[in-house]
Amino acid sequence: MFPFTSTHFNRETPGTIRNGKLMAKDDPTDGASGGDALEAARREKLRRIAELGHDPWGSRFDGHAPIGEIRARENEIEVEPTGDCATGRPPEQHGPAIRAAGRIVLQRNKGKLIFIDIRDWTGQIQLFIGKNQVGEENWELAQCFDLGDLIGVDGELKRTKTGELTIFVEKLHFLTKALATPPAKHHGLSDPELRQRMRYLDLIHTEGVLQRFLRRTQIVQSIRNTLSGDRFVEVEGPTLHSIAGGAAARPFTTHHNALDIPLYLRIALELHLKRLLVGGIERVYELGRVYRNEGIDPRHNPEFTMLEVYQAYGDYRSMMDLTEKIIVEAIRATGQEARLPWGDGEIDFTPPFQRKTYDELFREHTGVDPGDAAAVAALAEKIGFDTAGKHPDIIRNEVFEEKVEDQLKGPVFVMDYPASICPLTKRKAGRPEIAERFELFIQGMEVANAYTELNDPDLQEELFTRQLAGQAEEDSMAKMDHDFVRALRHGMPPAGGLGIGIDRLVMLLTNSQTIREVILFPLLRPETFG
């Protein structure tokens, strides 16, 4: 039995019901503003649903098939050649018995006949509800349906006269009332702010959004599969750091009460994963959230998902092969081919990706010899950079970021960076000014960053110190991580390490031009209610 009486659900419905219809005299919309009137009408129907003996908030509903699977049973419909085109009477059909559940997204009332489209996360299908076919009880219940309600149905899968695959309903189940009005049925939500704040509505009503986020899941799952297939193990490092290291970024700060110490949300996974290399976990990765207290734009969100992988006895070339494999497999996992659409154009992910050196690309895009410090400085001045007192590598890199990176449509591995801007990277044998590092650029975006990891504790300590000298004192990231250096003193195997920005990779693999399209709940200022 349903222990529900109207009073459980009736907040304060100003209208009254006679003969099941709202009487104009006591119209709940009377004097109410638009939104309130819409909700009042829905609450009134909710009350009637309870009166009819149904729980407006539903309960467990077993045995229903995903709509996508139901649609695939179309070929089970048998048609007997008894149709009569002249009278419009459809031919006799026999289809499989179906139980489905979903949200009402379209409704067309046609006298003693209602067509409803319900949707679940696998698809959408039409329902046929005829007054004479479903009986009085079901028909009364159907009068209480609004767009957005969740219902279940039992019926037979057949086709209408126009050939539309349809569940001819025999019994209705009420699963959940929607008190709020959904967006316009064909325009959906277009206000980007509403789409982000009310992602639940965006997922239901904006074309392609649900598919995009499911595809994100496929990509992440594929990455785990690829790594696991290569015998990498996944671990979980701490997200609360007393020293936020492994990258240069401003951290979020917080505080632990019992220990009474300041803490930082992690800005990278690197330093703890390398400690695990020391500890003998020879192939290790973490796929998790990092936090950087910096600006927000179409390519940056304050919290984002990072993959970092470390492989003992590898180097940055092993990481290049792995990066390519991870991306190619991810594309396959989403059911796509190597040439992916991107805006008006496309990106060709056919391996092998281009591999070019930093110097090569510098020369190519600036026409200046990267080894000619004076010429590079002159170019920097021309662009408008302040070069006074700066290390030539820093100047060169500023020019590289300004003039080269945007041009790298890629995918292209940029190899062999100036050592002085890579404090965690091993130097090339015999060429201490070059670091064994690559970054993968696609559409001007840095998607991956990898090193042959520096495992010389003395050099690491020196580079930390040198880095500190150039940092502002209040910059909390600029702290020597003594424990990390101590770990290196116990011997970290030569290794390759890789970081991939998952959100950016998902952008590229889902043709999404902003990072907020691939993050379910991007950071927004809190909304003020009331």
Partner RNA sequence: GAGGAUGUAGCUCAGUCGGUAGAGCAACGGACUUUUAAUCCGUAGGUCUCGGGUUCGAGCCCCGACAUCCUCACCA
Identify residues 225-254 at the interface with RNA (CB under 7 A): 246-249
Tokens of 247: 């990258």
**Binding residue count for RNA, defined by CB under 7 A:** 77
The correct pick among 79, 421, 459, 480 for binding RNA (CB under 7 A) is: 421
For residue 201, give Cα distances in angstroms to 47, 97, 198, 529. 25, 31, 6, 18
Decide if residue 111 touches RNA (CB under 7 A): yes
End-to-end CA gap in the chain:
39
**SS3 letters for 126-166?**
EEEEEHHHHHHHHHHHHCCCCCCCEEEEEEEEEECCCCCEE
Task: Note the maximum CA span of the chain.
Answer: 93
Least separation in angstroms between CB 523 and RNA: 8
Q: Is 511 in the site for RNA (CB under 7 A)?
A: no
Residue 262 binds RNA (CB under 7 A): no
Q: Is 423 in the site for RNA (CB under 7 A)?
A: yes
Smallest distance from the beta carbon of 228 to RNA, in angstroms? 27
Min. distance of Cβ 128 from RNA in angstroms?
Answer: 6
Tell me if 465 contacts RNA by CB under 7 A.
no
- For residue 411, give the nearest of 440, 433, 446 by alpha carbon: 440
Contact range with RNA by CB under 7 A, out of 213-221, 290-298, 307-315, 346-354 = 290-298
Within residues 112-151, the interface with RNA by CB under 7 A covers 112-113, 115, 126, 128, 130-133, 146-147
Q: Which residues pair with 117 in a beta bridge?
A: 106, 126
Q: HEC string of 428-458?
A: ECCEEEEEEEEEEEECCEEEEEEEEECCCHH
When the beta carbons of 219 and 424 are compared against RNA, the nearer one is 424
Residues within window 63-102 making contact with RNA, judged by CB under 7 A: 88, 90
Angstrom distance (rounded) from CA 486 to CA 496:
20
CB nearer to RNA: pick between 337 and 381: 381
Among residues 103 and 226, whose Cβ is nearest to RNA? 103
Could you give the CA distance from residue 154 to residue 359 in angstroms, rounded to a whole number? 68
Give the count of beta carbons closer than 10 Å to the beta carbon of residue 433.
Answer: 12
Q: Interface with RNA includes 222 (CB under 7 A)?
A: no
Using the minimum distance from each CB to RNA, give the nearer residue, 8 or 161. Answer: 161
Chain residues 154-193 in contact with RNA, contact rule CB under 7 A: 160-164, 166, 180-181, 183-193
| Distance of alpha carbon 491 from alpha carbon 279, whole angstroms | 9
Q: How many Å apart are CA 277 and CA 311, to the nearest integer?
A: 8
Q: How far is the CB of 256 from RNA (least distance, A)?
A: 25
- Residue 130 or 494: the one with the smaller Cβ distance to RNA is 130
Residues paired with residue 447 on neighbouring β-strands, in sequence order: none
Distance of closest approach, residue 23 Cβ to RNA, in angstroms: 8
Distance CA 270, CA 252 (A): 17
Among 110, 231, 255, 382, binds RNA (CB under 7 A): 110
Q: Phi/psi of residue 266, each to 5°?
A: -65, 145
Which parts of 15-74 interact with RNA (CB under 7 A)?
A: 21-22, 24, 27, 29-35, 37-38, 41, 45
Residue 343, interface with RNA (CB under 7 A)? no
